[in-house]
Structure 1
Amino acid sequence: MSYSLSDFGSYTVAGRVHEVTEGEPRSINFTRSASYIYDPKGHFPVEHAYVQYFVPANRNGSPPVVLVHGGGMHGSTWETTPDGRPGWLNQLVLLGYETHVLDNVERGRSGFAADIWEGDPISRSQQEAWTLFRIGPREGFATRTPFPDGQFPVDDFDTFGRMLVPRWLTTTPLHVAALVAVLKRLGPAIVVCHSQGGEIAMDAMRQVPDLFAGLVGIEPSTRLNDPKTAAAVPTVIFAGDHLSIDAHWRERQQIWNDWVTDLSKHGGAARLLRSGYDLRSGHTHMPMLDYGSEDCLKACLEALP
């Protein structure tokens, strides 16, 4: 895959300066042969988000796209699949979309700050990812045996595990502030959100609905229970396969169905795309990494008014 860019770069948004007033200076070795007196006190920028952007030379007339990752993940979700295929970022740029990829607060290149957030970070195990993301049955984890129609590149499942990072459970308002800041910088944009990113997007939509040119929710973790606000935003929800495996996913599926129905009743343009119905069967919670991921993206874009 090849394409030309007219611009490429990065920026940070939101955050604050945090002052540390406790601690004593001490000598530290920051390499094997160099040391200096380190003072833990001072002013430190914290709670900002990192954004990388790509402007194709053949930019189309659509609003920019903002990619919002899910929980325990960062912007690499959209870049390259575990087995090395081009990700949705590459596909979007090839199609002419100006694209902004968010590493939200305390994730990826945004970095994190110790001892300023409530609670401890948690990490997702490979076993949990295997079952929660519906890659295969629980008993298939040890042998990496997916569902018979599974589309995830299971031979590279361990590579996928390296894309997961620790996450805090108390930083959602900071994530929302970062997305709002991105949208205020760009103007109206198409927000593509995944999983926990759906909650971030919904909370941001509540604050700045006029800055949402469209919403593509990839198995979003929640919905916006405000039909008047949400109906003004063209919406596509993508649902993967094997949602009947447990109550959590059956509940999510009902929420997505009700969401689309409610938006339509209030005059909104909304569509639910389902693996096994509108696309091939076997897509997981991570369709942007599955085989046929480009078809999933194309279907979402075509369904967005």
Structure 2
Amino acid sequence: MKYNRYTLVVLATIILSSFSVDAQKKQAIVIQDQGSFAVGGSVVTAPGTFDPIKHGAFNPANQSSEGQTLHGDHAYVFYQIPDKARKLPLVMWHGYGQFSKTWETTPDGREGYQNIFLRQRFPVYLIDQPRRGRAARGTVGGTIAAAPEDQLWFGIFRLGVGNEFYPGVQFSKDPEALNQYFRQMTPNIGPIDIEVNTKAVSALFDKIGEGILVTHSHSGGQGWMTAVKNKNIKAIVSYEPASNFLFPEGQVPETITYAGGSLRAVGVPMADFMKLTKIPIVIYYGDNIPSQPVENPGQEQWRAALTMAKRWAETVNKLGGDVTVVHLPEIGIKGNTHFPFSDLNNVEIAGLMSNWLKDKGLDK
């Protein structure tokens, strides 16, 4: 096909116009400050005396640690503070088998919560908890397994069963998206220690002052525990918390058994529990969570978690707290996985959180 000069000019104008429209859709994020640091942790000193001659150079035949120190069990934090930042930062804490990547670019290449909320002028702090990701320096050793288990997590994270997606799931069917999803899985370099983790995150709030904690899955229960430790946590947004629900001693509900396991709550002194009634909390759960027992363990544990979350919210609210549990399908938002904040509709999910922050006066 031949093009005359007029046709080429029109085509060029259309192309340039499309680039201009795309540029207008995504305004530049202006960052006033950014950086990273370690926080929390401990120092272990080996018995004996360090000999600079004997131990002054690495020698595989002589790796004695006599008198030497090990700095470990800290959290790693990357932060960005946008121009004209809001007062309260968002501190985002990953779940099991994940690190801070979970809040960054989505597996299918779109903006994650990090950028979404920077655009809303919230300072954003991303955590790698102790003994995970960029905080991979622990004081206790461990063995990292290399077992094939992708399909296990495909089911537990509620994308589907085996290799088959659930109908209508909010996850890209592009094979590269699933490839990226699996590659963000991150092992522990030592045993998970909840006390070590909560101390490190509490130390972060000591450093930065007041803020809003955003948790996911395994960090959900750790988030309640950290809020008990630190009054600088002014609110919690929790995506699919799955364990360590705190109840007053003497009011701990029965363990919930399900196909493949059980979920047990944790009793704490009433004085500690009451600290959770002083801050607003919202919890979100996605789709494909059954209301009745089923044979699929990948769904069953989330039925137990949602059931326990509702019991927990009822107990907190009965004592004067402010907890809201949102089961997304019940408000007409369907197809979300265990990672609503990085699903195809994550902008809509972020909008729910933004509205909640506004309603609670946390977006000043």
**TM range, smaller chain:** 0.7 to 0.9
Confirm or deny that 1:265 pairs with 2:308. no
- Distance change >3 Å, CA 40–CA 149, structure 1 → 2: farther
- Distance change >3 Å, CA 120–CA 268, structure 1 → 2: same
2:258 alignment counterpart: none
Q: 1:95 & 1:221 partners in 2: Cα distance?
A: 28
Asked if the contact 2:41–2:74 (Cα under 8 Å) also holds between the matched residues in 1, the reply is yes
Residue 204 of structure 1 aligns with an amino acid whose one-letter code is T
- Find 1:87's aligned residue among 93, 112, 118: 112
The unaligned stretches of length 5 or more in structure 2 are: 1-25, 249-272, 291-295
- Find 1:188's aligned residue among 200, 207, 210: 210
- Distance change >3 Å, CA 150–CA 27, structure 1 → 2: same
Residue 134 of structure 1 aligns with an amino acid whose one-letter code is R
Q: 2:62 & 2:34 partners in 1: Cα distance?
A: 36
- Distance change >3 Å, CA 176–CA 242, structure 1 → 2: same
Q: 1:27 & 1:234 partners in 2: Cα distance?
A: 54
Q: 1:44 & 1:8 partners in 2: Cα distance?
A: 28
| CA deviations over 1:165-204 (Å, ceiling 9, x no partner) | 1124432211111110011112221000001111221211
- Distance change >3 Å, CA 50–CA 103, structure 1 → 2: same
Asked if the contact 1:121–1:169 (Cα under 8 Å) also holds between the matched residues in 2, the reply is no
| CA deviations over 1:89-147 (Å, ceiling 9, x no partner) | 1111110101111011111111234xx42654456821111000110123xx1xxx311
Q: 1:67 & 1:77 partners in 2: Cα distance?
A: 9
1:284 alignment counterpart: 337
1:153 alignment counterpart: 172
Asked if the contact 1:65–1:192 (Cα under 8 Å) also holds between the matched residues in 2, the reply is yes
Alignment length (residue pairs):
290
Deviation for aligned residue 1:154: 4.0
Alignment of 1:119-268 (within 5 A): 120-121=143-144, 125-138=149-162, 141=163, 145-155=164-174, 156-167=177-188, 168-208=190-230, 210-222=231-243, 223-226=245-248, 227-244=273-290, 246-268=299-321
TM-score relative to the length of structure 2: 0.73
% identical equivalent positions: 25
- Distance change >3 Å, CA 38–CA 160, structure 1 → 2: farther
- Indicate the structure (1 or 2) with the bigger Cα radius of gyration: 2
1:299 alignment counterpart: 352
Confirm or deny that 1:117 pairs with 2:143. no
Deviation for aligned residue 1:286: 0.8
- Distance change >3 Å, CA 298–CA 172, structure 1 → 2: same
Residue 191 of structure 1 aligns with an amino acid whose one-letter code is L
Q: 20-29 vs 63-72, which deviates more?
A: 20-29
- Distance change >3 Å, CA 91–CA 123, structure 1 → 2: farther
Q: 192-201 vs 166-175, which deviates more?
A: 166-175
1:33 alignment counterpart: none
Alignment of 1:23-102 (within 5 A): 39-41=63-65, 42-61=68-87, 63-102=88-127
Give the 3-state SS of the residue equivalent to 1:54 in structure 2. strand
Asked if the contact 1:64–1:189 (Cα under 8 Å) also holds between the matched residues in 2, the reply is yes
Residue 152 of structure 1 aligns with an amino acid whose one-letter code is F
Give the 3-state SS of the residue equivalent to 1:288 in structure 2. helix
Residue 209 of structure 2 aligns with an amino acid whose one-letter code is G
Residue 229 of structure 2 aligns with an amino acid whose one-letter code is Q
Residue 77 of structure 1 aligns with an amino acid whose one-letter code is T
Asked if the contact 2:131–2:192 (Cα under 8 Å) also holds between the matched residues in 1, the reply is no
Residue 151 of structure 1 aligns with an amino acid whose one-letter code is Q
Give the 3-state SS of the residue equivalent to 1:190 in structure 2. strand
Asked if the contact 1:137–1:147 (Cα under 8 Å) also holds between the matched residues in 2, the reply is yes
Q: 2:319 & 2:97 partners in 1: Cα distance?
A: 34
Residue 216 of structure 2 aligns with an amino acid whose one-letter code is H
The unaligned stretches of length 5 or more in structure 1 are: 30-35
Asked if the contact 1:67–1:191 (Cα under 8 Å) also holds between the matched residues in 2, the reply is yes
